Amino acid sequence: MILQPVFSETWAVIFGLFGLSGFILGWVAQRGNYCFINAMTSIFTTKSLERFGALLLLFGLTALGTGILTAFGVIPAVDQYFYNYFAGWYILVGSFIFGFGAAMAGGCNLSMLYRASSGYVQNWIELFGMMIGTYVFAVAIWPFQSYTMQAGILSTTSGGYVEYLPYLLFHSTSSLAVYVTTFIVALPLILLGVYFQWRTRNRWGKSLGGSTPGLPGIRALGSPGIPTPAETSSGLRLKQDVKDMLLLRKPYGTNLSTVILALDMIFVFLVGAGYTFNYLVITSSDGGRFFEYILMPLGINLFTNTPWFNDSLPIVDPSTLMVVMLCVGAFSASYLSGDFKIRIPKDKKRLVIGFLGGMLVGIGVRVALGCNVGLMWTNFGQLGYDGYIFLLGMLGGVYLAVKVQERL
């Protein structure tokens, strides 16, 4: 089946809109210091659920937006489920390897890109390690993995609508099935995300005598007393905060970044319907493809003798442009705000750990068939279940990395 374009944009417009989306993604992630790995490591290190709650909000808001667009017929259901991956052992194993490697290296696929664009040399090394890891996967793992996928060994063999939750729950892809499933998926994620954030802030507020860190003048729930002067001037402070963020004097808050990123994903889903991947595809395949093109001037053509590279996507496509523009957006935000600086860690072993962690990231994302953005976040927007599998495996890998780092 070939998807048909839903809207009448030309390819030039599609590329431009995907480029704009990538720029927004890089800009907002840099200004909000947004990192899936930090959100997960904080669960096990500082016992904070605030950033992880923001992640659940991100997934829930994305599912809500894409689901409503589909349920009301703006986007055909086929556009939501068409690229649902085959589910199998490899998603769980790959996400575990990815989570471990990314936590050791210090950043997920999204954060390694915007931090590399902000001058962090360790993330440059991590990106190169990811390219090498992709090659290791292509040579040593992909032949076996592709065999298990084709044979259906601990994996499905169809993908698409058979892994679409509306079809699994109601054996239908009708508007009503999509509508009901959207709320079944989105509301628990949103409510759980809000609860995790409230729980963390409430705990901090009690430990600090009733004020929430980072939110001056806001008392913990249930604290008695009349409004303080800080509370009465909250409107003025809010205006100043907005002004400071617009002038790049102050970073974005986690929840503001979450909302903008969710809207960005929904935007891509809307404008890309029927043209190409109608969701964000970030770094997991592009890193390996860049490595392929880096070697070409040396006379090494991976696509002629390595099956995975032979089947990989062309270098010129909207997702690659998104990655490039993500880096442009992140660099622009860091440079204009004065944050850009070439940073080399004092402890040089961090570079070695970054490279090895990057290799594991490259292996993990390819085994899983996607990364924390291109599979996990995306799949929540597709109303699939692979995102849940990836989330579970990634949390396991991050937990192991935290325990290993405690002993280093």
Break the chain into its structural domains and give their ranges: 11-220+240-406
Highest mean pLDDT among 212-221, 278-287, 317-326, 395-404: 395-404
Question: Using an 8 Å Cβ cutoff, are 124 and 105 in contact?
Answer: no
Q: How many CB atoms lie within 10 A of CB 405?
A: 13
Q: How many CB atoms lie within 10 A of CB 215?
A: 13
Distance CA 165, CA 77 (A): 12
Percent of the chain clearing pLDDT 90 (strictly above): 61
- HSE at residue 146, side-chain half, CA atoms within 13 A, is 11
Average pLDDT over residues 47-61: 96
Residue 254 in this model has a pLDDT that exceeds 80: yes
pTM, whole model, 2 decimals? 0.90
Q: What is the pLDDT of residue 315?
A: 59
Q: Which residue has the tokens 């298990």?
A: 148
Percent of the chain clearing pLDDT 70 (strictly above): 88
**32-35 long-range contacts, Cβ below 8 Å, gap at least 24?**
32/251, 32/252, 32/253, 32/254, 32/256, 32/257, 33/251, 34/110, 34/111, 34/254, 34/257, 34/258, 34/261, 35/107, 35/108, 35/110, 35/111
Helices 50-71 and 175-207: angle between axes, nearest 10 degrees: 160
Q: Is 398 left (phi over 0), alpha (psi -120 to 50) or beta?
A: alpha
Q: What is the pLDDT of residue 98?
A: 97
Nearest 5°: the CA angle 212, 214, 215 is 60
Distance CA 398, CA 48 (A): 15
Q: What is the pLDDT of residue 210?
A: 45
Average pLDDT over residues 308-313: 69
Q: Using 50, 70 and 90 to split pLDDT, how confident is the model at 40?
A: very high
Q: What is the pLDDT of residue 179?
A: 98
Least confident residue range of 56-60, 216-220, 349-353: 216-220
Q: Classify each residue of 295-306 as buried b or exposed e, where b means 16 or more C-beta atoms within 10 Å of its C-beta.
A: eeeeeeebeeeb
**What digits encode the pLDDT tens for the residues 126-180?**
999 999 999 999 999 999 999 999 899 999 888 888 899 999 999 999 999 999 9
CA distances from 212 to 43, 56, 96, 367, 380 (A): 18, 21, 34, 42, 31
